[in-house]
C-alpha cells in the first residue's frame, strides 16, 4: 500500500492553464505538506497543513492554492501556469506532536508530480 | 545565511571508502535532525534520525554537535548503491518548521 500517493505523476501543460495535483495519505498523520523541487534540486516547502488547517504558507504566488478537504487529503491547485512553475512537486505527511519524538517527525513523501509548463 | 547549509559536492569516492558529510544549521532553537536520501528522479526517504548522543545504523553513523550547530553523516565501506543525494533536515517549533538542506551528492565509483 502506498503511504502517500499523488496524482498525476507527470503533467505537461501550456502556459496560462489551470491544473490540480491531488494527494492522499493513509498513515493517519495530522500534518501534510507541499514541497517544490526545482531544476537545481533545492527542496523548498510551500505549504503545511495540520488537521486541515493551514499552518505554514511560505512565499508562494497566490496562483497556488492548497485545499485540504480532510486531514488525509491535501490538493494543490495552480492557476495561470507559468514557465517557472516547471518543477517536481512533492506531497508529504508526518505526525504532529512537537519535536520531542523523532519518530513522530519522520516525513513521508509521495513519488512526486513532474510538472512541465510549455 | 541560509538556515541549513550543505556542501553540494559531488563527492566521488571509490567503493570501500569512508566518506563524511557535514551540515550546519543557523537557528539554535532547532530541535530535531535527520538525514534523508534521495535517488535520482525519486522522492526523498528517511535514512536516519540524528540523536544528541550519536547513533549508528550499520555502515552509517550520524552525530549532532549542538555547540557548533552541525550534524554529520559518516558512511563506511561505501557501496555503489550508496550513490545518491543526501539531504540534511532540521526541524524546529511545535508545528514543525521543516527545512531541508540543498543536499550533498555522493557518487561511489567502482
Contact across the interface for A103 and B92, Cβ inside 8 Å? no
- Residues of chain A found within 8 Å of residue B87, distances taken between Cβ atoms: 43
Q: Can you tell me which residue has the cell 525519486?
A: B42
Q: What is the pLDDT of residues B36-92, one digit of tens each?
A: 999 999 999 999 999 888 899 999 999 999 999 999 999 999 999 999 999 999 987
Residue with the larger pLDDT of the pair A82 and B3: A82
Specify the pLDDT at position B28: 87
Helices (H) and strands (E) in chain A, counts: 0, 11
- The Cα–Cα gap between B54 and B72 comes to 9
Report the percentage of chain A scoring pLDDT > 70. Answer: 90
pLDDT value at A98 more than 80: no
Specify the pLDDT at position B30: 85
Neighbours of B41 (CB within 10 A): 9
Write phi, then psi, for A12 (nearest 5 degrees): -115, 125
- The Cα–Cα gap between B83 and A2 comes to 25
User: Taking CA atoms, what residue in A is nearest to B95?
Assistant: A98
User: Taking CA atoms, what residue in B is nearest to A90?
Assistant: B43
Contact across the interface for B96 and A45, Cβ inside 8 Å? no
Contact across the interface for B43 and A111, Cβ inside 8 Å? yes
Amino acid at each position: 500500500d502506498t503511504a502517500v500517493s499523488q496524482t498525476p505523476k507527470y503533467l505537461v501543460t501550456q502556459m496560462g492553464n489551470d491544473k490540480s495535483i491531488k494527494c492522499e495519505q493513509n498513515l493517519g498523520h495530522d500534518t501534510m505538506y507541499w514541497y517544490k523541487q526545482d531544476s537545481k534540486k533545492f527542496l523548498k516547502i510551500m505549504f503545511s497543513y495540520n488537521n486541515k488547517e493551514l499552518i505554514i504558507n511560505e512565499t508562494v504566488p497566490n496562483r497556488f492554492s492548497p485545499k485540504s478537504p480532510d486531514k488525509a487529503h491535501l490538493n494543490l491547485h495552480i492557476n495561470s501556469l507559468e514557465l517557472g512553475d516547471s518543477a517536481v512537486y512533492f506531497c508529504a505527511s508526518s505526525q504532529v506532536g512537537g519535536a520531542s519524538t523523532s519518530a513522530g517527525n519522520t516525513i513521508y513523501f509521495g513519488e512526486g508530480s513532474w510538472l512541465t509548463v510549455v | 545565511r541560509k538556515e541549513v547549509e550543505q556542501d553540494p559536492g559531488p563527492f566521488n569516492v571509490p567503493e570501500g571508502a569512508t566518506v563524511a558529510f557535514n551540515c550546519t544549521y543557523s537557528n539554535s532553537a532547532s530541535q530535531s535532525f535527520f538525514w534523508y536520501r534521495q535517488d535520482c528522479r525519486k522522492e526523498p526517504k528517511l535514512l536516519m534520525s540524528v540523536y544528541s548522543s550519536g547513533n549508528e545504523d550499520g555502515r552509517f553513523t550520524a552525530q549532532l554537535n549542538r555547540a557548533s550547530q552541525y550534524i554529520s553523516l559518516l558512511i563506511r565501506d561505501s557501496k555503489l548503491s550508496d550513490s545518491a543525494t543526501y539531504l540534511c533536515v532540521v526541524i524546529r517549533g511545535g508545528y514543525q518548521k521543516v527545512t531541508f538542506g540543498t543536499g550533498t551528492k555522493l557518487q561511489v565509483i567502482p
